[in-house]
Amino acid sequence: MSLINRRSFLATAAAASAALSAPMVLAQGRPKVIVIGGGAGGATAARYIAKDSDGAIDVTLIEPTRQYYTCFFSNLYLGGFWEYENLGHSYGTLASEYGINVVHDWAVGVDRDAKTVSLAGGHTLPYDRLIIAPGIDFVDGSVPGWDISAQARMPHAYKAGSQTQLLKHQVESMREGGTFAMVAPPNPYRCPPGPYERVSMVAHVLKERNPTAKILILDPKANFSKQALFEDGWSRHYDGMIERIGPDFGGGNVEVRPEAMEVVIDGEVQAVDVCNVIPAQKAGRIAHLAGVTDEGGWAPVTPTDMRSRVDDSIFVLGDSSNQGAMPKSGFSANSQAKVAANNVRADLTGSRVFPARYSNTCWSLIGTDDGIKVGASYEPGTDQIESVSSFISAVGEDAGLRQRTYEESIGWYEGITADIFG
């Protein structure tokens, strides 16, 4: 079967959800790569391996959802700057253009000795190299009173999709003069500026619809990402609306009561109207099941190639990895995926290995046309990925530059989503 035929066959097979058995037969003899998780890290890796190996490697991507909603820009959707539909991306192109076997199922186990992955649907798939990129899961009990069953009353909205829609709805229908509370997470967590960009976007909505409302941030961290820039922006755009309680004043000792819609701060009960709980985080569950995580809850990798320190045949990408200095971001996951893809191909087909290069930039929107950014480039150090140079927006930049920074972030969104999903 020619490459073209094989590709369209796979596409049809994937579309018909009959993807599993047939392509495995076709793939006999070619080395097999399985990618668990079709997010910023996993989908990029699958695409680069398939694209650059020109069919020499059989790539299977396991991802339960048919439509991936990006967390990045989900805050802009909350603020009314971005359409919900524009957050969604499908796997159609990865299947049809790149011949990736996209399997919509959960990975529920990894047998590292047999080199197989088992799926919730009952199938077991063999691999030569495995990429684990399942994003984050929440640490049970990290916010007393909250567990995943409370997410309808107190949403986390830290995995995008219906949670983000729910939070937006709650903010927009909050009673006049009500209180929006956010329980911010401890380090490390995905997207360091994410909670604070979210507060900015919620404040933007409230200022327009409900100007007497208040925002309360309960924060276990003494400092946070781009703090000076956010605080400057908050005082310029939303003066008096936002209060942050840090660890000195009990922000690290918080319990929530979803039924009563209360938060307890250092023993003091306060009624709230909307409560966004962002719990402490750890690597996605499948990384733990595969036995590649450490006591901190993340999967340690070697800085030159993102290979698991526990198993040479496994690579861990994105939020789940413990790699060193890179923040957990979509940009980082995408950057790491290209390094891993280069090494996976070299392992399996002997192609050239180029030196690892990583980078990250995180844009945040504070208010209309008021964008800021922080970024750095990284290289492998002896044990970990290390930062080699960095930059950050400055307080007091003129409005034209802030607007241009916002426009750039839109360019980046279009660029990275094209790079992830084809």
Partner 1 sequence: MHRFGLILIATLAGVLAAPAIAQTQIRAEALGDPESGQTVFLRDCAFCHQIGSDARNGVGPQLNRIYDRGAGSIDGFNYSPGLRRMGVDGLVWTYETLDAYIANPRALVSGTRMSYRGLRDEQERHDLLAYLRAYSDQPQNIPESAPTARPTLPELSTDTLQIVGDPEYGEYLSGECITCHQRSGADQGIPSIVGWFEEDFVVALHAYKQGLRPHPVMQMMASRLDDEQIAALAAYFASLNE
Ligand X SMILES: Cc1cc2nc3c(=O)[nH]c(=O)nc-3n(C[C@H](O)[C@H](O)[C@H](O)COP(=O)(O)OP(=O)(O)OC[C@H]3O[C@@H](n4cnc5c(N)ncnc54)[C@H](O)[C@@H]3O)c2cc1C
**Beta bridge partner(s), residue 281:** 138
Minimum Å distance from CB 412 to ligand HEC?
A: 6
Residue with tokens 């040479």: 312
When asked if residue 357 is in the footprint of partner 1 (CB under 8 A), the reply is yes
Pair 70, 113: CB distance under 8 Å: no
Considering only 412, 413, 420, 421, the residue that binds ligand HEC (CB under 6 A) is 412
Helix (H) or strand (E) holding 375: strand 370-380
Q: 99-122: b or e for each residue (b if 16 or more CB lie within 10 Å)?
A: bbbbbbbbbeebeeeebbbbbeee
Residue 252 interacting with ligand X (CB under 6 A): no
Contact segment (CB under 6 A) with ligand X among 69-77, 262-270, 368-376, 387-395 equals 69-77
Burial code (b: 16+ CB inside 10 Å, e: under 16) for 251-282 equals: bbebbbbbeebbbbbeeeeeebbbbbbbbbbb
Rounded to the nearest whole angstrom, what is the least distance from the CB of residue 277 to partner 1 in the complex?
A: 31
- From CA 78, how far away is CA 58, in angstroms rounded? 39
Does 106 bind ligand X (CB under 6 A)? Our answer is yes
Give the nearest distance from C-beta 405 to ligand HEC in angstroms: 9
Q: Which stretch binds ligand X (CB under 6 A): 47-55, 122-130, 146-154, 314-322?
A: 314-322
Alpha-carbon dihedral of residues 170, 79, 412, 376, nearest 10 degrees?
-90
The residue (of 126 and 375) whose beta carbon lies closer to ligand HEC is: 375
Please give the Cα distance from 337 to 290 (Å, whole number): 19
Task: Report the residue from 52, 379, 408, 419 that binds ligand HEC according to the rule CB under 6 A.
Answer: 408
Q: Is 412 an interacting residue with respect to partner 1 (CB under 8 A)?
A: yes
- Smaller CB separation from partner 1, 236 or 357: 357
231 scored as a contact of partner 1 (CB under 8 A): no
How far apart are CB 400 and ligand HEC at their closest, in Å? Answer: 12
What angle (nearest 5°) sits at the alpha carbon of residue 340, between those of residues 337 and 343? Answer: 150
Q: Which of 321, 329, 342, 343 binds partner 1 (CB under 8 A)?
A: 342
If you search the block for the tokens 């909350």, which residue do you land on? Answer: 78
**Cβ atoms 329, 362 nearer than 8 A:** yes
CA–chain centroid gap for 151, Å, is: 18
Cβ neighbours for 7, distance < 8 A, ≥ 6 positions apart: 96, 97, 98, 99
Indicate whether 406 belongs to the interface with ligand HEC (CB under 6 A): no
Residue with tokens 């076997």: 101
Within residues 370-399, the interface with partner 1 by CB under 8 A covers: 373, 375-377, 388-391
Site string for ligand HEC, 278-307 (x = CB under 6 A): ------------------------------
Residue 111 found at the interface with partner 1 (CB under 8 A): no
Choose among 259, 56, 283, 81: nearest CA to 189: 283
The tokens describing 136, both together, are 């984050």
Q: How far is the CB of 195 from ligand X (least distance, A)?
A: 8
- Binding flag, residue 361, ligand HEC (CB under 6 A): yes
Choose from partner 1, ligand X, ligand HEC, none: what does 47 bind? Cβ within 5-8 Å by kind: none
Size of the site for ligand X (CB under 6 A): 38
Of 170 and 360, which has the nearer Cβ to partner 1?
360
Binding site for ligand HEC (CB under 6 A): 361, 408, 412
Binding site for partner 1 (CB under 8 A): 48, 331, 334-335, 338, 342, 352, 354, 357, 359, 361, 373, 375-377, 388-391, 400-401, 404, 407-412, 414-416, 418-419
